[in-house]
Amino acid sequence: MRTILIVDDEPRTRLGIKKALDIWAAGNYRIECVDSGVQALEWLSRETAHLLITDVCMPEVSGLDLIHALRDHQMKPVAIVISGHAEFEYVQTALRYGAVNYLLKPIEKQELLEVVTQALKQEEDRHRIERMEKLVDPKLLALEDQNVRLCQQVKEAAEYIENHLDEPLTLAFLAERLHMNASYFSVLFKEQMGIPFTEYLTRRRIQRAKELLLQTRLPVGEISERVGYQTDKYFIKVFKQQEKLSPSRYRQEISGNSGSIH
């Protein structure tokens, strides 16, 4: 369930927004309120909000301070700011800080619901893009464009790797298969691919592992075998080096525990 956090030091505005959103959400969203920027920062240090609705002018920590403080937050919410007509310059600053929309007081219910719906759609789209970026290896993606310019031997090597990731592949084995000197093949491969053979093989294996983690419910140990690692312990170590988190954690974060990308 996605969460909307309302931050406003005026009880009437804060509770009015909450009441309107509670009726609109019909239990499909969690609606939370705090009455200051200080409380919002404390709340966000232990909870996750997908949408932040914040007043601009508040004591101690303003809405601008709040949005600015969250710019590098790992789970940064999309933000809507609330402002009076006389504070419009603050709204412009908030938009530069990353707010996606604004509401002017007094807030009309229909406009509130329209702006909230748009913001949640943007949050969903952003999250989907972030998930896709974590699925695709940028170096391998860049290599796709230059594949047509590869020499025949390197093309054959890449195709063989792709179709035999579960096997104990080595540079020497592929060089022999291609009837090439191993040292020459090593230099040629790096020259054409832009990365060494070992790094390419590792990235291909981890890429396949990510696909299996998201598209199947296979246990990590079986996935490890399918991408050519003899022990799941070593596979987990390499995966963490590449993706900065374990295979199990990756599956949870990217798929949202669903086992697939929707």
Give yes or no for residue 210 having a pLDDT over 50.
Answer: yes
Final residue before a domain boundary, out of 130, 159, 178: 130
* Same-domain pairing of 164 and 123: no
13 & 126 share domain: yes
Question: pLDDT confidence of 176, banded at 50, 70, 90?
Answer: very high
Q: Are 102 and 91 in contact (CB under 8 A)?
A: yes
Residue 62 lies in a domain: yes
Task: Read off the pLDDT of residues 8-60 as tens digits, 9 standing for 90 and up.
Answer: 999 999 999 999 999 999 999 999 999 999 999 999 988 999 999 999 888 89
Residue 201, pLDDT above cutoff 80: yes
**Within a domain: 188:** yes
Cα 95 to the chain's mean position, in Å? 22
Task: Please give the pLDDT value at position 256.
Answer: 55
Last residue of a domain, one of 105, 130, 155: 130
Residue 206 located in a structural domain: yes
Please report which confidence band the pLDDT of residue 258 belongs to, taking 50, 70 and 90 as the band edges: very low
Do 100 and 164 fall into the same domain? no
User: Is residue 261 in a domain?
Assistant: no
Give the model confidence (pLDDT) of 97-129 as tens digits.
Answer: 889 999 988 899 999 999 999 999 999 888 888
Over residues 195-224, mean pLDDT: 95
Q: Based on the fold, state whether residues 11 and 100 are members of the same structural domain.
A: yes
Query: Which comes out higher in pLDDT, residue 126 or 202?
Result: 202
Are 6 and 118 within one domain?
Answer: yes
Model confidence over 31-40: pLDDT tens digits? Answer: 999 999 999 9
pLDDT at position 260, please?
30
Regarding whether 166 and 122 lie in a shared domain, the answer is: no
Query: What CATH number has the domain bearing residue 62?
Result: 3.40.50.2300
195, part of any domain = yes
Mark whether 14 and 38 lie in a shared domain.
yes
| Mean pLDDT over the full length of the chain | 89
Lowest mean pLDDT among 47-51, 185-189, 220-224, 257-261: 257-261
> Do 190 and 117 sit in the same domain of this protein?
no
Segment 187-216 shows an average pLDDT of 94
Range of the domain at 111: 2-130
Percent with pLDDT over 90 in the chain: 65
Say if residue 113 is in the same domain as residue 153.
no
Decide if pLDDT at 138 tops 90.
Answer: no
pLDDT of 254 higher than 90 = no
Q: Are residues 110 and 158 in the same domain?
A: no
Q: What is the pLDDT of residue 86?
A: 66
In a domain, 262, yes or no: no
Q: Are residues 120 and 155 in the same domain?
A: no
Number of domains comprising the chain? 2
Residues 142 and 124 reside in one and the same domain: no
